Amino acid sequence: MATISTSTSLSDSNRTLQKATLEDIPAIKAMVDAAYSKYIERIGKPPAPMTENWVETIRAHEVLVLRDNEQIVGSITFYEDKQTNSLKIDNVVVDPTAQSRGYGYYMIRHAEMEGRKQGLSSVTLFTNVKMFENLGYYPKLGFVETERKVEDGFERVYFYKKLGK
CATH number at residue 96: 3.40.630.30
Q: What percent of the chain has pLDDT over 90?
A: 77
Q: Counting beta carbons within 10 angstroms of the beta carbon of residue 20, is it exposed (0 to 12), middle (13 to 18) or buried (19 or more)?
A: buried
In a domain, 2, yes or no: no
Model-level pTM? 0.87
More confident residue, 31 or 164: 31
In a domain, 4, yes or no: no
Give me the number of domains the chain comprises.
Answer: 1
Instruction: State which residues form the domain around 155.
Output: 15-162
Q: pLDDT by residue (tens digit) across 114-154?
A: 999 999 999 999 999 999 888 989 999 999 999 999 998 89
* 2 vs 84: CA distance, rounded Å: 27
pLDDT score recorded for residue 11: 37
